[in-house]
Amino acid sequence: MKNNSVIANSKDNVATVCTVIKKGEKIYSEINNKKFELKAVEEIPDFHKIALKDIKQGENVIKYGESIGLATKNIKAGEYVHVHNIESNRGRGDKIVK
Amino acid sequence: MKILGYKRINGTYGIRNHLAIIPSSICASDTAVKISNLVSNSIALPHQHGCCQVGEDYKQTFKTLVGLGSNPNVGAVLVVGLGCEGIKPEILAEEIRKENKRVEMIKIQECGGTLGAVKEGARLASEMARELSKQQKVEFDISNLILALECGGSDSTSGMASNPAVGAASDLLINHGGTSILSETTELIGAEHILAKRCINENVAKKLIDIVNRTERRALNMGEDLRGSQPTPGNIEGGLSTIEEKSLGCIYKAGNAPVQEILEYGEQVPTKVKGLYVMDTPGEDIDSITGMIAGGAQIVVFTTGRGTPTGSPIAPVIKVTGNPLTYKKMIDNIDVNAGKIIDEGVTVNQVGEEIFNEIVEVANGKSTKAESMGHNEFGIFRIGYTF
C-alpha cells in the first residue's frame, strides 16, 4: 500500500497522517527502509497525529526524535493524539505556585 | 552568481527602489499615508508608536525606524513628524542620512497643519520619486543578499514540507556566500538545544539559550499558560499540539548552516561575516519581519500551512506552503507549492532549488503574489508600556 503517513524519526511514538484516516482504516508508513502499518482505532484528521505505540500518562510524546510534551492520560496505539491527551511542558506560567 | 539591483553609496544593494515615507510617531501616521496616496511609487509606514515611550522600548522603536529607512531597498526617505513627539523627526532623519541617502523631513505643526504638510510633503516626495526613477539596476553578487526566514499560520505540514524546503534554499544561498536570518524566538522554545549545538561557539550558544529563556520567562512571569497564544488556535486546528512541536518544525527553515551570531530585534546584520544568524523577534509574523528588514534583509521567504496574505512595504515576501489543500485554496497568495513533497513525492531538495530560483527571480524584479496584491502589512515589536 502507498504510504499515507509520515514517521519523522525512528524514536517517534507518533506519526502524522497525510489524509483523513477513518476509524478502522490502516496507516502505512516507512522509516529507515522498514515498512510500518497500524489500524486507527478512531478517526484522525488530515495532518494530525496517531499514536504508534501505547503511551502511558506522564510519558513523553516523541516527534522528530524529541519530546513535544507529556501524555495527560494513557494513550493506546492507533489513537488520535492531540491537545485532548498531551500537554506542553514549556511556557507554563499557569503551573507556577505563587 | 550575479543578480540585478540598486547600488547604494554605503556599499549595499537593494532589490527594490522605494521612496519611504516614515512618520516619526502615531500622530503623523495618517498624514504620511495621505502624502503617499498622492505620490506614485512611494510607500508609507504608518505605525502606532513614537511617543510616550521610555527606555529600551523607546530605543527599540527608534532603532527600528532608522533601520527601515536605512534598508537597501529604500532609495530615499521622507520623515513626517508632528513636531512635539518623543521620537524627534529631525533626529530620525539625521540618523538615516548617515547611510548617505537623500532624507527630507517635514513637521506638521510647522507646515500649517494637514493641508500644508500634505502640500509640502507631496512636493518633496514626488521630486524624490522622480529622482529615484532615473536609477538603473546594476549587476551584483548574490552574496550581498540577506534573506529573512519567517513562518506564520503554521500547521503540521510546515515541519514536514515547507520549512525543510526553505531550509534547503537557505543553505543554497549561504553556499553562494549569502546570509539568512532565522527569527521568532517564541518558536525556538523546545528546540533551542538542537540549534545551540549548531552555534559556532559556546558564547553564541549561550546567547541563544538566553533569548529563549527570556521569552519563556515573559509567559511565566505573567502566570499564564503560553498555550493561550502559542500554538495559535489555527496552529492547533492544523494539528500542532504544543509549542515544542511547533518549534521543532520551525527550525527546519534554518537548514543545516552553523549559527554565526544572535542579533537583537532590528539590529544590523553584520555584512563582514555571511551565513546564518538568529534574530530575537516575537512569534507574531508582522513584527518579526519588520525586525529583520530593519536589520537589512532585502527579501523574505515566508512559510505557511494555514495560508496568510502577508506582504511587506519594503521587502518582497515569497510565500511557500507545505499544505497542498492550502495551495489550491489560496493560490492567489501563495508563490510556491511545497505540498508536492507530501502528495507527489517530490523531494525536499527539489523544492528547495525551486525556492532558491524564485528568490533569484524575485530579486531580479519579478513581483511576488503579495506585491501583486498590494499587501503592505507592517508592525513594530514593543517591549514596554505606553505612558
Q: Is the pLDDT of residue B290 over 70?
A: yes
pLDDT at B211: 97
Q: Is the pLDDT of residue B222 over 90?
A: no
What number of helices (H) and strands (E) belong to chain B? 15, 14
- The DSSP secondary-structure symbol of B151 reads E
Tell me how far CA of residue B340 lies from CA of B337, B352, B361, in angstroms: 6, 12, 21
Residue B259 and residue B205 share a domain = yes
In a domain, B9, yes or no: no
Q: Is B323 on the interface with A (CB under 8 A)?
A: yes
Q: Which positions in chain B touch A48 (Cβ < 8 Å)?
A: 156, 239
Measured distance CA(B97)–CA(B95) in Å, rounded: 5
What number of helices (H) and strands (E) belong to chain A? 0, 9
In a domain, B308, yes or no: yes
Q: What is the average pLDDT score of chain B?
A: 97
Residue B38 backbone phi and psi in degrees, to 5: -85, -20
Q: CATH number for the domain including B91? A: 3.40.50.2300
The pLDDT tens digits of the residues spanning B133-155 come to 999 999 999 999 999 999 999 99
Q: Is the pLDDT of residue B316 over 70?
A: yes
Residue B269 and residue B231 share a domain = yes
Nearest alpha carbon to residue B256 among B328, B325, B334, B194? B194
Q: Where does A5-95 sit in CATH, by number?
A: 2.30.130.110
Largest CA distance in chain A: 54
Residue B193 and residue B47 share a domain = no
Under the banding of pLDDT at 50, 70 and 90, the label for residue B224 is confident
pLDDT at A93: 85
Residue B165 and residue B121 share a domain = no
**How large is the ipTM?**
0.96
pLDDT at B248: 97
In a domain, B381, yes or no: no
> Which of residues B80, B106, B134 is at a domain's end?
B134
The pLDDT tens digits of the residues spanning B323-348 come to 999 999 999 999 999 999 999 989 99
Average pLDDT score over residue span B110-126: 98
In a domain, B2, yes or no: no
Residue B328 and residue B214 share a domain = yes
pLDDT at A97: 66
In a domain, B385, yes or no: no
Contacts of B273 (CB under 8 A, 6+ apart): B260, B261
Q: Do A93 and B238 touch (CB under 8 A)?
A: no
Residue B129 and residue B146 share a domain = no
Q: Is B230 on the interface with A (CB under 8 A)?
A: yes
Residue B47 and residue B196 share a domain = no
CA atoms within 13 A on the CB side of B344: 13
Reduce the DSSP state of residue B304 to 3 states and report it.
Answer: coil
Apex B61 CA angle, B213 and B78, nearest 5: 150
Residue B152 and residue B284 share a domain = yes
Residue B203 and residue B262 share a domain = yes
Q: Say if CB B39 and CB B132 are below 8 A apart.
A: no
Q: Is the pLDDT of residue B380 over 80?
A: yes
The pLDDT tens digits of the residues spanning B80-105 come to 999 999 999 999 999 999 999 999 99
Q: Do A64 and B227 touch (CB under 8 A)?
A: no
Q: CB-CB: which of B159, B223, B325 is closest to A93?
A: B223
pLDDT at A98: 57
The pLDDT tens digits of the residues spanning B168-213 come to 999 999 999 999 999 999 999 999 999 999 999 999 999 999 999 9
Q: Is A97 on the interface with B (CB under 8 A)?
A: no
Better-scored residue on pLDDT, A17 or B218: A17
Interface list for B 135-174 with A (CB within 8 A): 155-157, 159-160
User: How many of the other CB atoms lie within 10 Å of CB of B54?
Assistant: 12
Average pLDDT score over residue span B31-58: 97
Residue B124 and residue B158 share a domain = no
In a domain, B1, yes or no: no
pLDDT at B188: 96
Q: Is the pLDDT of residue B228 over 80?
A: no
Helix B26-38 to helix B113-133 angle (10° resolution) is: 50
Residue B125 and residue B146 share a domain = no
In a domain, B383, yes or no: no
**Which runs of E-coded beta strand occur in B232-363?**
259-263, 275-279, 299-303, 317-321, 336-337
Residue B203 and residue B117 share a domain = no
Nine-digit cell string for B158:
510546515
Domains contained in chain B, number = 2
Q: Which structural domain range is residue B289 located in?
A: 142-372
Nearest alpha carbon to residue B150 among B5, B295, B345? B295
H or E segment to which residue B13 belongs: strand B13-14
pLDDT at B227: 75
pLDDT at B64: 98
> Which of residues B83, B103, B134 is at a domain's end?
B134
